[in-house]
Amino acid sequence: MNSKRTAALTQQLVYIGPALLFFGITIIIPFVMGMYYSFTDWNGVSGNVEWVGLDNFKQIFTNDSAFAQSFWFTTKFTIVGVLLTNLVGFFLAYFLTKNIRARNWLRTIFFMPNVIGGLLLGFIWQFIFIKGFATVGEATGIPFFNLPWLGDEVTGFWGIIMVFVWQSSGYLMVIYIASITNVSKEVMEAAEIDGANRFQVLKSIIVPLIMPAVTVCLFLAISWSFKMFDLNLSLTKGGPYRSTESLAMNVYNEAFLNNRYGLGTAKSLIFFLVVAVITLIQVRLTKQKEVEA
């Protein structure tokens, strides 16, 4: 009996021990430390860490217009980004599950931007916005291309959105394709025999049956857009005048540019709470809409 327990304990240690150890070192411990630091005035350098109670949070909510601004920017970005990437991703998938030639090639092309990291993508697009758009604008005279891209708040916002959609919709497309292919042919044919038109099939059959994929895709898109950092850094660096600064970048700047680590961790704690709440609400809402085929 005792040796059996020892054996079980050994297995537990060998199989789960290492994973749990690394998880503890890089996530649990920093997470708990972060909670503590968010109530201090730690500056990251000196060993002198003083408890300041709720001062950091007071400061953030009452006296930090840049944080409020970045929160608003991130919220807008998330709403627009999530809608657009999902719409583009879904319709790419919808049309690429139809009987057209070269659809495998087309899928590859639409997915490709996604394998490149946000940082390099942003740099590539900086060139497109600055030189490419200008050239096209000169040649065609279309006002859209002659806007001061990335130069002001509005074009900065839509510039990042454009690159974000270009980067992410292919990924969502792949998930939607897998889900649409699973909708049984018989159900669709039955609907067509009953006289449903394409729009009705799309609205009343395909969309309800792929709700699990919608849950996943909304989840992914919200999480990407709310935590967006790399694209932000490489496209606008938050400028001009911090008007396109995302929350993730605001947290980063507070800690590593201003050296206010205590304040930075307080912000990062708020950031976590918001992400957690959004995720829970969203998963609950879309789960209710899922139907069985």
Partner 1 sequence: MRSKKPPMSASTIVLQIVMVMVALIFLAPFYFLLVNSVKSLGDIMVDAANWPTAFHFDNYSKAWEMTRFPEAFTNSIIITVISNLIIALLSAMAAYRMVRSNTRFNRIVFMLFVSAMVIPFQSIMIPLLQVINFLGVNNSIVGLILSYLGLGIPLSVFLFHGFVKGIPLEIEEAATVDGASPFRVFARIVMPMLKPMMVTVIILNCLWVWNDYLLPSLILQSPELRTIPLATFAFFGQYSKQWDMALPALVLGITPIIIFFLSLQKYIVEGVAAGSVKG
Q: How far is the CB of 84 from partner 1 (least distance, A)?
A: 14
Closest separation in Å from C-beta 16 to partner 1: 5
Query: CA-to-CA distance for 290 and 208, rounded, in angstroms?
Result: 7
Q: Based on CB atoms, which residue is closest to partner 1, 15 or 144?
A: 15
Evaluate whether 232 touches 123 at the Cβ level (below 8 Å): no
**Coil vs helix vs strand at 148:** coil
* Nearer of residues 54 and 102 to partner 1, judged by Cβ: 102
Q: How far apart are CA 217 and CA 229, in angstroms?
A: 19
Quote the tokens at residue 204: 């009343």
Shortest gap between Cβ of 67 and partner 1 (angstroms)?
A: 13
In DSSP terms, which residues pair with 51 in a beta bridge?
40
CB 191, min distance to partner 1, A: 18
Which residue, 107 or 157, is less far from partner 1 as judged by CB? Answer: 107
Secondary structure class of 49 (helix, strand, coil): coil
Residues 66/249, Cβ–Cβ less than 8 Å: no
What is the DSSP-derived secondary structure letter of residue 146? G
Measured from the CB atom, is 241 or 272 closer to partner 1?
Answer: 272
- CA 55/CA 262 separation, integer angstroms: 10
User: Minimal distance in Å, beta carbon 132 to partner 1?
Assistant: 5
Half-sphere exposure at residue 266, Cβ-oriented, CA atoms within 13 angstroms: 24
Burial of 165 by CB count in 10 Å (0-12 exposed, 13-18 middle, 19+ buried)?
buried
Positive/negative CA dihedral, 74, 58, 41, 242: positive
Describe the crossing of helices 65-96 and 103-111 by its angle, rounded to 10 degrees. 170
Q: With respect to partner 1, which residue has the nearer C-beta, 44 or 208?
A: 44
* Helix locations, 97-184, DSSP H: 103-111, 118-127, 133-140, 153-182
Taking alpha carbons only, the member of 175, 134, 174, 168 closest to residue 151 is 134
Nearer to partner 1, 1 or 139 (CB): 139
Residue 290: CB minimum distance to partner 1, A? 10
User: Which CB sits closer to partner 1, 44 or 239?
Assistant: 44
Report, in Å, the least distance between residue 273 CB and partner 1: 9
Q: Between 202 and 275, whose beta carbon lies closer to partner 1?
A: 275
Compute the least distance from the CB of residue 147 to partner 1, in Å.
16
